[in-house]
Every structure is written in C-alpha cells, then in structure tokens.
Amino acid sequence: GQGVDEPLSATGFRQADAAGLFLSNVKFTHVFSSDLLRAKQTAATILGKNKFCKDLEIKYDARLRERKYGVAEGRPLTDLKAMAKAAGEQCPSFTPSGGETLDEVRERARDFFEFLCQLAVELEQKEQDMHGAARSSSGTSQEELVFPWTNHCSEAELSSDNCGTSKMLDANILVVSHGAYMRNWLGYFVSDLSCTLPANLTKSQLSSVSPNTGVSHFIIKLENGNLLKPEITCVCLNQDSHL
C-alpha cells in the first residue's frame, strides 16, 4: 500500500538490477516513478544500468502510488482476505476501511495517462515548430529503440505501423509503479480504451498482478494529436524473462 514506505530488500535490488540490464539498450525520453521509496529505488537502479540515459531526470508522481489499503496496510495478505470474507466480498474488489476503491485507483491511472498523452502531443508540436511541417523524433535512432522482448511478440505486434523498432518515436516513456495499481491501469486500457492485446494472452494473465520488475510495453498512437481516441497496442504484459 502507501502507508508503509519500506525500501527494497536485497532481493528487490537484485530484481531491479536484472530489469536494468534487460532494458539497458532502450533509450528513454522520459522516466516517471511513483514517489514511494521502493519504486524510486527501482527506477534509479534501472536508469543506472542504461547505456544512453543514466543522467535522465526521474520525475516522481503521487498518481503512480500503489493502491491505498487503509487499515490493512502493514498487515499480512491473509488479514486482508479475512476482512474481505467477513464483508462477504472477493479480495481484489474489497475496500478496507480507509482504503481506495478500485474506481478511485482507476481514476488516478486515467488522470496520469491523459497527462502522458498531453506531454507527447506537446513534444510533437514543439518538434514541428522547430523543424516546420517535417515530423522528427526526439533525437532517438533506430539502434537505440531495439526492445529486448521482441522475440516474445507476434509479427503483427511488431509491424512498422505499431513498433518503435522500425519507426522513430516522439516519446519513449518508462513508468515505474506498483502491481495492484498497474492491474487497474490495464483494466482501464482494456475496458475504456479498447486496448489491443497479444493474441496468446489468457484471462488469468490479464487479471494477475505483475511480478516484481515485470515489464509491460504499450504502443500509444495519437492520430493528429487526438487525445480523445488514443490507439493502444499491448506488445507484452508482465514480461519477466530477465528474472
């Protein structure tokens, strides 16, 4: 949750190191992290391994915090399940006293995603102002956009229309957050924005919480800067081959 702001454990740092090595050849234009310590340490560790953007500023945002679990924070998961059972509810949708509802978490995710889309549109507008009508990237070359998980994806997902491996990107954004929060964010992408999912993704994978340092990759297209209808393709979800 949010109330217990513990640092990463030794295992957590090893996982963050592994994620950093996994992503070391990806050039990011922006990095955002939850302002909780475990996420901040993960983001810093990942950047520390990167070949292109070690000195990129990490921006911390409270909208990326884990779901707030109220009176259940700092207690074993078995306690949360017992609270849910006593209330006659299932654990994922149960809201402990003082906690956030799933709708409230999703609203935070929606607000942050719309902020990212606005950021990307403003970047493109700046590029056009600087270079006329010609569309330009943010100084990224194809060699720096080779994503390490491409061998886990279908050809359709990695076509030149959808993937930065063959097309320059306006923004390539790393977001470091938390498991329950990101599961809600994905729910928002799928139910509200009709996100295209990998063909081999099962329902249980769709509803599961990402493992620590699991990597998910989304391609976001904003045709003509249209913020109301983003086209979203999930290239991979909760990828953990680096662990």
- Tell me the binding residues for substrate: 38, 66-69
Both tokens of 6, joined, read 């513990």
Annotated binding site: 38, 66-69
